[in-house]
Amino acid sequence: MKIIKLQSWEEKFKNYVDSLREREFKWLSDSQFKKAYGTLMYWMSPTVISSVIFLGCILFRSAPLNASTIFTVLAALRSIGDPVRLIPAALSVMIQVKVSFDRLNVFLLDDELKDNEVRQLSSQNSDEILRIERGIFTWYPESAVPTLRDVNLEVQREQKVAVCEPVGAGKSSLLCAILGEMPKISGTAEVFVTLAYVSQTSWIQSGTLRDNILYGRPMDEIKYDKAIKAYALDKDIDSFDHVDAHTAAILFHDCVMAALARETVILVTHQVEFLSEVDKILVMEGGKVIQSGSYESLLTVGTAVEQLVKCS
């Protein structure tokens, strides 16, 4: 919603949603009419069928139309009524089963992710914990244009690295490449530590706030309170504090810079006010790292970082 408001796309998206809603309403109308028709036929069919049978008996004299014949026909029609009524529901279930099996089939037949996209090596004596040389990565191996190309990256222990660039230039793809989630075309990617990943859209399990913090581990009050404060959850619990910029600053300083002070962090962000506090900045454009260095070295006239800072 924020992007739509900033780009003044309200009318365009409103028309698009209205067109989808119109199509949806058409399908719903057809479905309701068919349901009404089916209900009408269900309740009318015993009368119509029995009338046709009795009329045939009279016209063709195929059977004597007496009490025994009439009650036998009515009993037979009633006994087969329930199975016939279940036929539409059975067809609907069969269609749903086919759709579900098709989805499972596509998932199970998908290409397996290779385990050697990023090599997990034992920790060395050097301070280097991540190295990518001439890396080319792509989400679609059959595509001629890779998603990330000519990626050269070295990250030292306890460094704080910020990745910034315009929307859609490959920040999230770079993180997926480091995690080994993106197919590698060529180059080398080596990691010397255990990786942890926090996505932009968090996955929250069904449960309490404590359950989402502990994830099944035993309760430790000291660590629990530290996690609450480091991730600014105490501000969420407080119903009087809902300042986005303030919360972002707390998350950066208390979590990234304080709680993770002895860890290496690669941060994807649009918050340029935090760039001056990190050790290294990666500037990406078109799926390629175009600049790399400290804030002071990159903040010169004409560079991408200088333009980002001015635009903010």
- Domain of residue 281, CATH code: 3.40.50.300
User: In this structure, is residue 59 part of a structural domain?
Assistant: yes
User: In this structure, is residue 141 part of a structural domain?
Assistant: yes
Say whether both 40 and 101 belong to one domain.
yes
Give the whole-angstrom CA distance, residue 182 versus residue 217: 30
Say whether both 24 and 50 belong to one domain.
yes
Contacts of 139 (CB under 8 A, 6+ apart): 147, 173, 182, 183
Which domain range does residue 7 map to? 2-108
Lowest mean pLDDT of 8-17, 135-144, 148-157, 203-212, name the range: 203-212
Q: Report how far Cα 185 is from the mean position of its chain's Cα atoms.
A: 25
Q: Report how far Cα 255 is from the mean position of its chain's Cα atoms.
A: 25
Lowest mean pLDDT of 28-32, 93-97, 108-112, 241-245, name the range: 241-245
Residue 247 has pLDDT above 80, yes or no: no
User: In this structure, is residue 290 part of a structural domain?
Assistant: yes
Count of alpha carbons within 13 Å of 19, Cβ hemisphere only?
Answer: 5
Say whether both 6 and 90 belong to one domain.
yes
Q: Report how far Cα 209 is from the mean position of its chain's Cα atoms.
A: 21
Say whether both 133 and 103 belong to one domain.
no
**Which position has the higher pLDDT, 159 or 101?**
101
Measure the CA angle with vertex 263, ends 261 and 266; round to 5°. 105
The total number of structural domains that make up the chain: 3
Write the single-letter amino acid at 204.
I
Say whether both 146 and 82 belong to one domain.
no
Buried/exposed code over 17-49 (b: 16+ C-beta within 10 A; e: otherwise)? eeeeeeeeeeeeeeeeeeeeeeeeeeeeeeeee
User: In this structure, is residue 79 part of a structural domain?
Assistant: yes
**Which position has the higher pLDDT, 115 or 297?**
297
User: In this structure, is residue 135 part of a structural domain?
Assistant: yes
| Structure token digits, residue 124 | 């060395």
User: In this structure, is residue 289 part of a structural domain?
Assistant: yes
Contacts of 150 (CB under 8 A, 6+ apart): 134, 135, 136, 288, 289
What does the DSSP 8-state code read for residue 162? E
pLDDT score recorded for residue 70: 84
Contacts of 121 (CB under 8 A, 6+ apart): 190, 191, 192
- For residue 240, name the pLDDT band (cuts at 50, 70, 90): very low
Give the whole-angstrom CA distance, residue 160 versus residue 154: 12
User: In this structure, is residue 275 part of a structural domain?
Assistant: yes
User: In this structure, is residue 299 part of a structural domain?
Assistant: yes
Say whether both 104 and 126 belong to one domain.
no
